[in-house]
Chains A and B, each alone.
Chain A
């Protein structure tokens, strides 16, 4: 069965960096696009970034463009989100989400999420 397990969350000071990971299993990771979606405490869902199956296409939300970098290692079945210049408004649960196809389709599976808290 498909499993997506995020890690790397925690408390970080404003302006610092953090890298999230998502370990995937139960499907051929290298064949599918992957997304990051976040949810601030008590708020709705916000799409953050997507990466194509072969890493050739990456698209970001304006709110994180230039600060966050999505990447993947298909040999390790792992998705990453490198977050820099973190702000208080980046505080959220970050979900790793599988695309139905290579990129640009709908979501089918979600991870359980990892909490990032940006605070001094």
Chain B
């Protein structure tokens, strides 16, 4: 199985900050990488696919980069609604696997 490791596990930031979350795959996955946002008590929401493509309706302050084993999710200017938990996921092969999550909290 492909292991996905996110860092950091938690992060405190302020509105307006630029933040970056890292995701590393245990083997190369090309750009078969997605990012999801989950707020407490809600279902996850799809943000990014193919490492850098935004899902429809996702604000442009979100961006993704990477290929192979190393990926990043960047939020350019944090908004109050962005405080949530973020997960990466590989869809290069089955079983599909997720990172453990990064909880983004308000400083």
Which A residues fall within an 8 A CB radius of B?
A: 35, 37, 44-47, 50, 59, 61-62, 95, 100, 104-113
Using a CB-CB cutoff of 8 Å, which residues 27-45 of chain B contact chain A?
32, 34, 36, 42-45
B46 A107 Cβ-Cβ under 8 A: yes
- If the complex has contacts A44-B100, A45-B87, A45-B89, are A110 and B46 also in contact, measured as CB distance less than 8 A? yes
Whether the Cβ atoms of A110 and B55 lie closer than 8 Å is: no
Q: Which residue of A lies closest to B101 (CB)?
A: A44
The reply to whether B44 and A45 form a contact with Cβ atoms under 8 Å apart is yes
Bound form: Cα–Cα A2–B44 in Å: 15
Q: B83 interface residue, CB < 8 Å from A?
A: no
Interface residue count for B (Cβ, 8 Å)? 22
In angstroms, Cα B45 to Cα A7, docked, is: 19
Docked complex: B58-89 residues within 8 A CB-CB of A: 87, 89
Judge whether B91 and A106 touch: CB under 8 Å.
yes
Q: Is the CB of A111 within 8 A of B94?
A: no
Structural contact, A59 and B87, CB atoms closer than 8 A: no
Q: Which residues of B contact A111 (CB under 8 A)?
A: 43
- Check B34 against A107 for contact (C-beta < 8 Å): yes
Q: Which residues of B contact A107 (CB under 8 A)?
A: 34, 36, 46, 89
- Does the CB pair A50–B94 fall under 8 Å? yes
From the candidates B45, B98, B99, name the one contacting A47 in the complex (CB within 8 A).
B98
Residue B15 lies at the interface, judged by CB distance under 8 Å to chain A: no
Which of these, B43, B91, B95, contacts A95 with CB under 8 Å?
B43
**Does B19 belong to the interface (CB within 8 Å)?**
no
Kindly list chain A residues whose C-beta atoms are within 8 Å of the C-beta of B101. Answer: 44-45
Kindly list chain A residues whose C-beta atoms are within 8 Å of the C-beta of B89: 45, 47, 107
A110 & B45 in contact (Cβ 8 Å cutoff): yes
